[in-house]
Structure 1
Amino acid sequence: MTGNTSRLVYRVPQPGDAQRLLCIYGDPRTQLFNPAGPMADLGEAERLLERWIEHWARYQYGTWAISSSDAPEQILGFGGIAHHHYLAEQRINLGYRFAVEAWGKGYATQLGQDALQHAFVQLGLPEVFGLVRPDHAASIRVLEKIGMQLFAQLDDVPGQAPSLVYRGRQGKPG
């Protein structure tokens, strides 16, 4: 799905999005719960965009560049569903990251609902997972609000509490 919902506009990321990606992913506030920390430089942003674009070419879905319908030229964040390897297998993972100025407006919830709708209805995928740090209360609320349920824990950060794995399934909760 690329296109619009009532509030958000989704499109496939492009190489020209690298600077905006770095602004969002390089901000320590948006990376507070990411053990890897903020993105370091433009080269890292370009490499991540390249992986996202390759994912789109291979699967015909992936991480979107997201903007509001009021200002479609201004990227607010990046998110969607994409393959991610954890819990010993390849999973379809819901992920997102929004610029600080986009926080508190319900965009993450809207994206989550739209991404699940796309996964289940358009793509016919049976389940989608979300990986979240246990102290990231806002993202946990989003996952629960869109109907995902706690599925497992993943001991992925040495010396810290395990991440939480949420699951949404087509036609039924959790």
Structure 2
Amino acid sequence: MIPAFENVTTERLVLRPFRESDLDAIFTLHSDPETNKFSSHGPMRTLDDARERLTMWLNDYSQKGVGYWAVARREAPGVIVGVGGVRHKELQGQHVLNLAYRFSPETWGSGYATEVSRVALELARKHIPDVPVVAIIHQLNTPSIRVAERLGMRLDRVIDYEGMPSRLYLDR
């Protein structure tokens, strides 16, 4: 594990690798139709789907040293309100770090996605500088597009991502 990505605290948030005990939180977040409105897979249907996702994220940390974080508020560190950060991915034959963020609806508009993503970008630039960071965002997901633009990411092109036209943003 890359220590810098292990446990991070921002002004308002606690960011940490996922653990086995987070299964229900992953399912709750990913089974909500609102939080998955722009996902090509749609809402998660079963706890087995959540277990598969959790296993993938745990493997990211054990095999690559970095992956998406479980995100909680500092005042309630035991309650996961979202997921965010970077993970290694192959995209159109290129190795990249995919920047992603997904939060429960009650947190929308709080700036948490920008806060998490800003830290993830800083750490990726410092510790994994040879791998480009991208954000793949559904064309109609205006709030996520605004986050990428606020971070200074630039629109590179529109791609077909898992059957959906999506904007590909680059960190630099």
TM-score (norm 2): 0.92
The whole-number CA distance in structure 2 between the counterparts of 1:121 and 1:97 is 24
Is 1:71 the counterpart of 2:83? The answer is no
Is 1:164 the counterpart of 2:167? The answer is yes
More displaced stretch, 70-79 vs 130-139 = 70-79
1:129 corresponds, among 126, 134, 149, to 134
- Conservation of the 8 A alpha-carbon contact between 2:97 and 2:131: no
Segments of 5+ residues of structure 1 without an aligned counterpart are 170-174
Aligned to 2:108: 103
The whole-number CA distance in structure 1 between the counterparts of 2:43 and 2:130 is 31
TM-score (norm 1): 0.91
- Conservation of the 8 A alpha-carbon contact between 2:86 and 2:99: yes
Aligned to 1:52: 57
2:153 corresponds, among 105, 123, 148, to 148
More displaced stretch, 21-30 vs 71-80 = 71-80
Identity of aligned residues (%): 34
Aligned to 1:116: 121
CA RMSD of aligned residues (A): 1.3
Aligned to 1:92: 97
Deviation at 1:89, TM superposition (A): 2.1
Aligned to 1:172: none
Is 1:80 the counterpart of 2:85? The answer is yes
Segments of 5+ residues of structure 2 without an aligned counterpart are none
Deviation at 1:129, TM superposition (A): 0.2
